[in-house]
Structure 1
Amino acid sequence: MHRRLPSASVLRQKRNQKRNVRFNVMVAGSGGCGKTTLINTLCGREIASTTDWLDDDPNNAHRDRPIRLRTYTEELNDPDVGNITLSFIETSGLGESKDSSGALREALEFIEQQFDDVLAEESRIKRNPRFIDHRLHTLVYMIEPTGHGLRELDVEFMRMVGSRVNVIPVLAKADTLTRGEILLNKRLVREDIARYSIPIYQFTSLDEEEEEDGADPNASYDALLNVQESVPFSVIGTNSFVPGEDGRPVLIRQYPWGSVNVEDPNNSDLALLRDLLLYSHMNDLKESTYDVLYESYRTQRLSVQNQGDDANGSGLNLPALPPTDASSPSYLAREEQLRLEEERLQKHEMSLQTELEQRRSELQRREQELRELEERLRREAESINSPALSDMPKF
């Protein structure tokens, strides 16, 4: 059963006090596994819709299409963490074709393109102060519970992207399984992950900060075992809220015969997954992306570039970035991200400009009042002193 990680509130305050924390998550999986619903559930409201993926031209619905990506952005305000800008990149098209190799390559190219953008920015003499880092911090991969472990597509995809992003496997649609079936599917998936040497994100144990805070190592070890045994996390998604006993909204999945609290650890690992992603392990996921995955990719790219430079007699050590196809899904997704970010910055600048104008007007008004007050005091002083001077005796 899920138990909240020890000292979670302390970790939130110490690690994530910075404002405007950015966290980028890709949600991938085959069609109909609940990716859109999971995004809405993690955000606590509906920001994505399955109608976003409807084909404009039904005549092309039967044709093999490349992977499609759609970005959703949500601002979360947490009293312990501050402002979190969540960017969800949802995939569509995995497993919809007989040959999924093209879709898998495009997903990998999108992930690597975010690394290339940062690498190119680092190579600039004068960097862009408004550059937005879109490197993926984690990839939530949703697995259909077949009762036979991982499918070939699951193995191939997670092995392909595992060296570029922190993969967190999730067992989709847990409400269709009994408790025994959930445990069976989890065990089979873990066995396949070990059998095929699939690199997934390993949740770490008690770190130095927690030790300094005096957290109980035994409690932390028990919580870590609970997390590791929960992989893949079984989740139930929903967009419905009802008031709880304490008045706070509770996520409820409605059925014709009843309802299920999806945040109840007896029913779903959703609360544990959300706590790990957005609070206790957010910084660990970001550090793993920057210090391990990106540095490994950067070393490989620069090594290949340096070998090419030596052969060509060139001394430049800049990465050779691939040309960008304006019609590619990765390019369109980045353009959408840039557009949304630019809109947010423009709104923020307009708000600051309006506030500045209001303060300037207030300052001018107070300065005018001060000048009028000084003038009135001067006149009153003159009116008081004038009769006294006229009554003085003359010598």
Structure 2
Amino acid sequence: MNRVANAQAAAPATITHKDPKMAAQAANDMNIVRRKLTGYVGFANLPNQWHRKSVRKGFNFNVMVVGESGLGKSTLVNTLFNTSLYPPKERKPPSLDISKTVSIQSISADIEENGVRLRLTVVDTPGFGDFINNDESWDPIVKNIEQRFDAYHEQENKVNRMNIVDNRIHAVVFFIQPTGHSLKPLDVEVMKKLHTKVNLIPVIAKADTLTDEEIGSFKARILADIAHHRIQIFEGPRYELDDEETVAENAEIMSKVPFAVVGANTEVSTADGRKVRGRRYPWGIIEVDNEEHCDFVKLRQMLIRTHMEELKEHTNNMLYENYRSEKLIGMGRKQDMSVFKEVNPAVKQEEERSLHEAKLQKMEMEMKMVFQQKVAEKESKLRQSEEELYARHREMKEQLERQKQELEEKKTRIEQGRPIEEKGKRNKFSLR
């Protein structure tokens, strides 16, 4: 009995599904054998191995800040990473000529925290939105992002791919001027140009210039504009294994988008004697790290503490792959999905069966069409023959009627004693 049961358990099950893709997926799932271990094996240490490898190798993160001058981009970056990445800016004299184009400036720094090294690159866009005519001012930004994609693609195509440097932009922090109204046309146009190429994170700069009520209504207008123009902003991914605390934390972070932030690099003393990072005003102190004052903590939490790897993965798996596919298709290259594809016998058998069924259905349809065509031709010939028979029948019937009429006339002449042929017709030639 045990052998029979084992044989039945080992026998392959038959998969039937109308959709070939679903059937193939089901066949693939059938090959996954789940077993409960009776003892400790050791592959549960794989996360620890990955952790040691990652710490030894180090990490990198590339972020771009986009916004008009004077919105506190440099101050916010220094506040985010708690370092003087940007040196203090010197005041420029009014007579100094201002560049007429948007420039791209990149600053890189190696920072370390608790033994973890991070190669941080911040790309700034000075001059954006500072001109009277800002048409095409987003071109240098878009071209810089695409050039970084092209550089990464070129490194992938080299023979030696061991030391690929990832210079792609992983996130764009887009600074919105605190007008309290809605997005400006320039903001909408730039976000529409960028959202398919980078992870877009909108922030309201210098939020301490608005009241809480004004910030709430301003956020609602910004989100309405983003939804109306179908602009995609970065949202934290959701995983099935996330616990309730993680789900609630991510939901709370996303509820603050766009983030109303305040940047400050200096410490001030509060009334109760605490040293905090913030800004002192005549009416009080704005604490940068106080969630009741601004959304800086939530922005830092999403950008660095919880979603930095998700930003990099989404850039690599979605944004870069879409750009790469469009570029290759534009060059006339097509992807052959069968190349380097592992063949699963069950999946292959299911695909062949599906193709065979489709072929049989096609042949059946063709046979039905031929049969219907033959029947139609036969019916047409029968109708034609029937019409010819009816015509011949009518002709013979008319001929018999004429003969009957002639015989009746002859009978009448004989009974009346008249000659059968009239005198005027005797000399006429007749076969009778």
TM-score by length of 2: 0.60
Letter in 2 for 1:33: L
Distance 1:230-1:52 versus aligned 2 partners, 3 A rule: same
Give per-residue Cα distances to partners, 1:139-163, cap 9 Å, x unaligned. 0001012122100011000110111
Asked if the contact 1:67–1:106 (Cα under 8 Å) also holds between the matched residues in 2, the reply is: yes
Q: CA separation of 1:248/1:59 partners in 2, compared to 1, >3 Å: closer, same or farther?
A: closer
| C-alpha distance in structure 2 between counterparts of 1:73 and 1:106, whole Å | 20
CA 259–85 in structure 1, closer or farther in 2 if over 3 Å, else same: same
Residue aligning to 1:300: 326
Q: Give the corresponding residue for 1:216.
A: 243
Question: CA offset at residue 306 of structure 1?
Answer: 2.1
1:98 counterpart = 2:132: yes
Matches within 5 A, 1:32-111: 32-49=70-87, 51=89, 54=92, 58-61=95-98, 65-79=100-114, 82-111=116-145
Rg (Cα) greater in structure: 2
Give the equivalent residue in structure 2 for 1:374.
none
Matches within 5 A, 1:165-314: 165-205=198-238, 207-208=239-240, 211=241, 216-217=243-244, 219-241=245-267, 250-306=276-332
On the 8 A contact 1:66/1:102 being kept in 2, the answer is: no
Note the alpha carbon deviations across 1:311-359, whole angstroms, 9 max, x for none.
Answer: xxxxxxxxxxxxxxxxxxxxxxxxxxxxxxxxxxxxxxxxxxxxxxxxx
Partner of 1:364: none
Give the 3-state SS of the residue equivalent to 1:201 in structure 2.
coil
Question: Counterpart of 1:175 in structure 2: which amino acid?
Answer: D
Q: What residue is the counterpart of 2:185 in the other structure?
A: 152
Cα 1:232–1:276 change in 2 (3 A) is: same
The amino acid that maps onto 1:84 is L
Distance 1:15 1:267, change over 3 A: farther
Aligned to 2:232, the other structure's residue is in SS state: coil
SS at match of 1:68: coil
Is contact 2:270-2:285 (8 Å) kept?
no
Query: Structure 2 CA distance, aligned partners of 1:266 and 1:16?
Result: 35
**Distance 1:181-1:270 versus aligned 2 partners, 3 A rule:** same
Aligned to 1:355: none
The one-letter code sitting in structure 2 at the alignment partner of 1:285 is: L
Q: Is the partner of 2:305 in helix, strand or coil?
A: helix
CA distance in 1, matches of 2:173, 2:303: 10
Instruction: Give how far 1:284 is off.
Output: 0.5
The one-letter amino acid paired with 2:113 is D
8 Å Cα contact 1:150-1:192 kept in structure 2: yes
Letter of the structure 1 residue corresponding to residue 112 of structure 2: N
Are residues 142 and 157 of structure 1, via their aligned partners in 2, closer, same or farther at CA, if it must alter by over 3 Å? same
Query: 1:161-207 CA deviation, whole Å, 9 max, x = no partner?
Result: 111100000011111111111111111101100011112112223x2
The amino acid that maps onto 1:142 is: F
What is the identity percentage for the equivalent residue pairs of Structure 1 and Structure 2?
Answer: 33
In 2, Cα distance between the equivalents of 1:74 and 1:195? Answer: 39
- The answer to whether the Cα contact below 8 Å between 2:59 and 2:117 also exists between their aligned partners in 1 is yes
Q: 1:59 to 1:273 in 2, by over 3 A?
A: closer
Check conservation: 2:191, 2:231, Cα contact below 8 A: yes
- Coordinate RMSD, CA, aligned: 3.0
Partners in 2 of 1:13 and 1:271 — Cα distance? 29
Number of the residue aligned with 1:123: 157
Q: Say whether the 8 Å CA contact 1:41–1:239 is kept in structure 2.
A: yes
Separation of aligned partners in 1, 2:49 and 2:205: 33
8 Å contact kept, 1:28–1:90: yes
**Ranges in structure 1 where 5+ consecutive residues have no aligned partner:** 1-11, 309-395
Q: Is the 8 A contact 1:141 1:169 kept in 2?
A: yes
What CA deviation, in whole Å up to 9, does each residue of 1:86-131 have, x standing for no partner?
111111111122332332011000001000001111112234x544
CA contact (8 A) 1:15 1:283 kept: no
Number of matched pairs? 285
Which residue pairs with 2:14 in the alignment?
Answer: none
Equivalent residues in 2 for 1:329-344, closer than 5 Å: none
Match in the other structure for 2:60: 22
What's the CA shift for 1:259?
2.0
